[in-house]
Amino acid sequence: MKILVCISNVPDTTSKINFTDDNRTFDTSGIQFVINPNDEFGLTRAMWFKDKQGATVHVATVGEASAEPTIRKALAIGADEAIRVNAVPADGYFVARQLAEVIRSGGYDLVICGRESIDYNGGMVPGILASLLDMNFVNTCIGLEVEGNSVTALREIDGGKETLKTSFPLVVGGQKGLVEESDLKIPNMRGIMMARQKKLQVVEPTEAPQAIEDTQFEKPAPKGEVKLVDPSNVGELVDLLHNEAKVI
């Protein structure tokens, strides 16, 4: 089983988000970049397949040299090899076109992406990949078992979950549930040392268009002061929700 985990390099979840350049650019100053959490659940599941079922695990990202610490971290966690497509990840469509090339030349059975990146929340890369490569696809995947060529996947749906039977080649849009939070690995010193020896291949991008473009950003309007209700007078809250907020 040959697995590719696609990694997005995103601001840490605790980041405060600001914009510069007349609100046209995301302000990266002081921002710590990490493996996109949805991708990390997938990477950790891939490591499980490596340990238990002898899978080979590669990781790929589309990004400039500044994304290398993130992809090195994936190697330190245990991925065997890494590929970086040397381009600014302009939008989901462009990124998917780049990753499709990586997948075509690598011959992977299973491609695991996050269901979305936590920066632009596009959620389109895994679906576009499956479409371009004519592979099976499971999104919002919260459980994945492989037996030979056949796959059982659990998918989150609105208000529940669905069990799906499918087969390789397969693209997965993963999230928490693929593994638990407590299964995530912090790279140890040995992993970090070994990662330095592992192959990190830099490839130049293929010609592909950008499908969408963010022209302007804004931050949510500041919230007004909270209206406090005394705990001895809970009825007032019911009254406010009914007469003032009109939500009940």
Partner 1 sequence: MSVLAYTESENGKFRKNAREVASYASEVARQMGTSVTAITVNNNNPGELAAYGVSKSLDIQDPKLKVFNARAYAAMIAEIAGKEGAKVIVISSGADAKFLAGLLAGRLNAGYVPNVVAAPQGTDPVVVKRTVFSNKGFAHTRILADTAIIGVSNNAFGKVENPVENTVESYTPTLDEGLFGTESVEVDKVVGKATIADADIVVSGGRGLKGPENWGMIEELAEVLGAATACSKPVSDMGWRPHSEHVGQTGKPVASNLYIAIGISGAIQHLAGVNAAKVKVVINIDPDAPFFKAADYGIVGDAFEVVPKLIEKLKEFKTQTA
Q: Which of residues 169-188 bind partner 1 (CB under 8 A)?
A: 173, 175-177, 180-182
Site for partner 1 in 3-42 (CB under 8 A): 11, 13-14, 16-17, 19, 26, 37-38
Task: Check: CB of residue 4 under 8 Å from CB of residue 110.
Answer: yes
End-to-end CA distance of the chain: 54
Closest CA to 7 of 105, 150, 118, 168: 118
Least CB distance from residue 62 to partner 1, whole Å? 16
**If binding is defined by CB under 8 A, does position 129 make contact with partner 1?**
yes
Query: Which one, 64 or 214, has the nearer CB to partner 1?
Result: 214
Closest CA to 4 of 91, 117, 75, 103: 103
Task: Check: CB of residue 10 under 8 Å from CB of residue 117.
Answer: yes
Query: Which one, 64 or 180, has the nearer CB to partner 1?
Result: 180
Among 140, 144, 174, 195, binds partner 1 (CB under 8 A): 140
> Residue 87 has what DSSP assignment?
S
Among 3, 50, 125, 189, binds partner 1 (CB under 8 A): 125
Query: Which one, 70 or 175, has the nearer CB to partner 1?
Result: 175
**If binding is defined by CB under 8 A, does position 131 make contact with partner 1?**
yes
Neighbours of 247 (CB within 10 A): 7
**If binding is defined by CB under 8 A, does position 136 make contact with partner 1?**
yes
**If binding is defined by CB under 8 A, does position 243 make contact with partner 1?**
no
Cα 116–Cα 87–Cα 66 angle in degrees, nearest 5 = 80
Residue found by looking up tokens 């994304």 in the block: 67
Site for partner 1 in 52-71 (CB under 8 A): none
**If binding is defined by CB under 8 A, does position 161 make contact with partner 1?**
yes
DSSP SS3 for 147: strand
Among 22, 32, 157, 204, binds partner 1 (CB under 8 A): 157
